[in-house]
Amino acid sequence: MNGEIRKFIFKDLQTVDGYIDPPDALVFLALLQAQNTHQLSGGIAEIGVFYGRSYFLFRKVCGGSEKILAIDLFDIDQEADEAVTQYSRFIENGERLHLPVDQDLVIRGDSTQLRPEDITGKIGQTRFFSIDGGHMLHHVVSDSALALGTLAPHGIIAFDDTFNPAWPEVTVGVTDVLRQRQDELATFCMTKYKTYVCRREFHDFYCRVINEAPDLYAFGHLETDFLGSKAIRLHNPMARRMIYEMMVRSGMRSLSERVYR
């Protein structure tokens, strides 16, 4: 197991306001490391950075030399007279975690206005693309097309908030794309919050990665049929989630990692 990175996921990363929780952080870790091992190279991109919780995970797992592109409107907290903004908090989080943001690889703007070349021109084809920006149908349709236009043959797209009843248009958008491109795309993993997709040729490879990653042994691995693919649904039992929450709330964050072994 990855002792140091797991400590980072369960402790340091939780000091950044944001939404990726430890189970999906462990999935990101397993996938990125498998790509590294098999020389499946390429850039990494995220739409919807917020304060950088997923971005700093990418930085920690992949090191400083990888090209990681951060795309966000960065307009939360943006009052005319406020010195602290979403963007300044993102940059400060990087300094505090000793993972400084490469500001040449930040796009501050509306992802729906970007073309694939705006991304590939900066980081080349992508091996991992996280979509967690605007949550309405037109955002998801546009961001999916953008990501697919940059994706390396072995690339992965991680869609956030799929099947979250708070964001029904994300569900519609993701399922529309997967149905329209059923011959090309396959879902290989699903968690409570995210759906992981790749090109069909790499489906078996990424299923094996998910099944064999020691960092994911703690989860139940269940098979789910989804739009022509067998996806591995990682099940995180309620009892474990409760123990984890109790530990975090009673100040035992460092030890909470053990619950997920």
Ligand X SMILES: C[S@@+](CC[C@H](N)C(=O)[O-])C[C@H]1O[C@@H](n2cnc3c(N)ncnc32)[C@H](O)[C@@H]1O
Residues that bind ligand X (CB under 6 A): 18-20, 47-50, 53-54, 71-73, 76, 110-112, 132-134, 139
Minimum CB separation of residue 228 from ligand X in Å reads 28
Instruction: Give the E-state strand segments of the chain in sequence order.
Output: 43-47, 68-72, 106-108, 126-131, 151-160, 185-190, 194-199, 220-226, 229-235
Nearer to ligand X, 78 or 250 (CB): 78
Nearer to ligand X, 113 or 250 (CB): 113
Nearer to ligand X, 162 or 229 (CB): 162
Say which DSSP state 214 is in.
Answer: G
Minimum CB separation of residue 70 from ligand X in Å reads 10
Token digits of residue 200: 């069909």
Minimum CB separation of residue 170 from ligand X in Å reads 11
Nearer to ligand X, 110 or 176 (CB): 110
Number of residue whose CB is nearest ligand X? 18
74-101 burial: b if 16+ Cβ within 10 Å, else e? beeeeeeeeeeebbebbbebbeebebeb
Minimum CB separation of residue 88 from ligand X in Å reads 14
Nearer to ligand X, 145 or 222 (CB): 145
Nearer to ligand X, 112 or 175 (CB): 112
Minimum CB separation of residue 153 from ligand X in Å reads 25
- Residues near 152 by beta carbon (within 8 Å), at least 6 away in sequence: 40, 41, 42, 125, 126, 127
Show the CA angle centred on residue 73, arms to residues 158 and 150, nearest 5°.
40
Minimum CB separation of residue 223 from ligand X in Å reads 27
Say which residue the tokens 């975690």 belong to: 97
3-state DSSP call for residue 141? helix
Say which DSSP state 258 is in.
Answer: G
